[in-house]
C-alpha cells in the first residue's frame, strides 16, 4: 500500500526528465532522471530508506528500481506512472 509507505516516511523518486517533472509531479518528490541516477546516488544516502520510484508509464521507474536494488538499496518499490501513484497516495 503506497499511501501507507508514504505515511511511514517513504521517499518518492521521480525518474522522468527535468522538463517532464516541471510540467507536473507529486508534491515532495525528488527528481533524478533515470539516466543520471547512478551519478546521483549520493542524494540517496540511506540504503534502508523506503523508496518508491515513478515515471510517466512505469518503464523507467522499473529500470530505476533495478539500478537501486543492484546497488544495495533494500526497500525499493516501482510505483509506476506518477499520476496514478499520486491518486493512490492522495
DSSP letter at 42 equals G
Q: What is the mean pLDDT of residues 52-69?
A: 98
Percentage of the chain modeled with pLDDT above 70: 100
Contact of 51 with 76, CB cutoff 8 Å:
yes
Q: Report the distance separating Cα 75 and Cα 73, nearest Å.
A: 6
pLDDT band at 64 (very low <50, low <70, confident <90, very high): very high
pLDDT band at 55 (very low <50, low <70, confident <90, very high): very high
Q: Is the dihedral of CA 22, 27, 30, 36 positive or negative?
A: negative
Q: How high is the mean pLDDT of the chain?
A: 98
Q: What is the pLDDT of residues 16-33, one digit of tens each?
A: 999 999 999 999 999 999
Contact of 18 with 31, CB cutoff 8 Å:
yes
H/E segment holding residue 73:
none
Percentage of the chain modeled with pLDDT above 90: 99
Q: Report the distance separating Cα 82 and Cα 77, nearest Å.
A: 13
What is this structure's pTM?
A: 0.97
Amino acid at each position: 500500500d503506497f499511501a501507507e509507505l508514504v505515511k511511514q516516511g517513504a521517499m518518492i523518486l521521480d525518474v522522468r526528465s527535468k522538463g517532464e517533472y516541471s510540467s507536473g509531479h507529486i508534491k515532495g518528490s525528488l527528481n533524478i532522471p533515470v539516466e543520471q541516477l547512478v551519478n546521483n546516488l549520493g542524494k540517496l544516502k540511506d540504503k534502508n530508506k523506503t523508496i518508491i520510484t515513478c515515471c510517466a508509464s512505469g518503464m523507467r521507474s522499473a529500470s530505476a528500481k533495478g539500478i537501486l536494488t543492484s546497488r544495495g538499496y533494500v526497500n525499493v518499490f516501482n510505483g509506476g506512472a506518477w499520476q496514478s501513484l499520486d491518486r493512490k497516495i492522495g
